[in-house]
């Protein structure tokens, strides 16, 4: 006895969504007026500029490049610390079950709004008050970090196992005590990992903020690129890449140590 194969379910909403996405992609390519003929010249242009930058780098600018890179890292560090101090308590309140519904919705909406605005736009708004200083870049990174760390934080709080939380509540603990003894010991490794990852992001973003003149290695890159001093630009790119790789490697090693724990040695 053979059973009839059930008909394939129809999903008109999904088909409409895919049609809308396809139409948006086609219209985007149609409206930007890409000169497809120049794409054939792109590989040769890339090779030419790489040769100009790296065939004979201007190593005389290396000390200044290292100093400006250090300023960018300082900018990223200050921005990360400020965002941690603000976002951590707000993320705990924004988690489900630890704050009133109206406040939770307000904070989550604020986090989403902040994440929607790029750091460079935030810096342009802030510099009208603080001026073109590295502190402006640090504040812009801090504001943007509040949006991401706030979201990651309340998601981490909501993902912790419920056992210790229920035990703390059964013992008569207040909301603050439940967060301190039931939530934080379990969520702390995730928070530390988020903080370090945000620092990595800020190191890269600090170079981009130099485009508006807030200092750091990005400011040097903008200046020497405008004057077509490609030999110096090559040195700056080498320093930027090396510093970013070193920061990412160190931060990644620390994050793995926090989330996975140390290796256990068995002695006999």
User: pLDDT tens for residues 25-58?
Assistant: 777 767 676 666 677 777 888 888 888 888 888 8
- Pull the structure tokens for residue 202: 């800020």
Can you give the length of the chain in residues?
Answer: 268
Confidence of residue 266 (pLDDT cuts 50, 70, 90): very low
**2, 118, 168, 187 from 184: Cα distances, Å:** 57, 30, 12, 5
End-to-end CA distance of the chain: 66
pLDDT digits over 154-210, tens only? Answer: 999 888 887 878 888 888 878 788 888 888 888 888 899 889 889 988 988 888 887
**How many contiguous H segments (helices) and E segments (strands) does the chain have?**
11, 0
Domains, the chain, in order of start with CATH, read 54-260 (1.10.3720.10)
Q: Give Cβ neighbours of residue 92 (< 8 Å, ≥ 6 apart).
A: 98, 153, 154, 157, 179, 183
């Amino acid at each position: 006895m053979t059973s009839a194969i059930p008909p394939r379910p129809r999903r008109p909403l999904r088909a409409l969504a895919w049609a809308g996405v396809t139409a948006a992609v086609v219209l985007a390519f149609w409206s930007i007026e890409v000169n497809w003929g120049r794409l054939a010249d792109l590989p040769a242009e890339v090779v030419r500029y790489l040769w100009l930058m790296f065939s004979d780098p201007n190593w005389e600018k290396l000390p200044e490049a290292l100093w400006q890179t250090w300023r960018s890292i300082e900018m990223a560090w200050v921005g990360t610390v400020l965002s941690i101090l603000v976002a951590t308590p707000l993320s705990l309140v924004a988690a489900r079950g630890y704050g009133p519904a109206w406040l939770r919705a307000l904070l989550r909406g604020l986090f989403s709004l902040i994440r929607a605005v790029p750091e460079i736009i935030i810096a342009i708004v802030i510099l009208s008050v603080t001026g073109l200083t590295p502190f402006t870049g640090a504040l812009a990174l801090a504001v943007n970090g509040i949006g991401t760390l706030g979201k990651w934080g309340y998601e981490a709080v909501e993902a912790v196992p419920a056992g210790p939380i229920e035990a703390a509540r059964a013992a008569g603990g207040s909301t603050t005590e439940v967060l301190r003894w039931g939530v934080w010991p379990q969520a702390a490794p995730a928070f530390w990992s988020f903080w370090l990852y945000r620092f990595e992001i800020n190191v890269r973003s600090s170079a981009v903020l130099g485009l508006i003149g807030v200092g750091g290695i990005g400011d040097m890159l903008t200046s020497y690129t405008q004057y077509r001093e490609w030999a110096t630009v090559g040195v700056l790119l080498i320093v930027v890449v090396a510093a970013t790789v070193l920061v990412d490697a160190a931060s990644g090693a620390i994050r793995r140590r926090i989330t996975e724990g140390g290796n256990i040695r068995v002695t006999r």
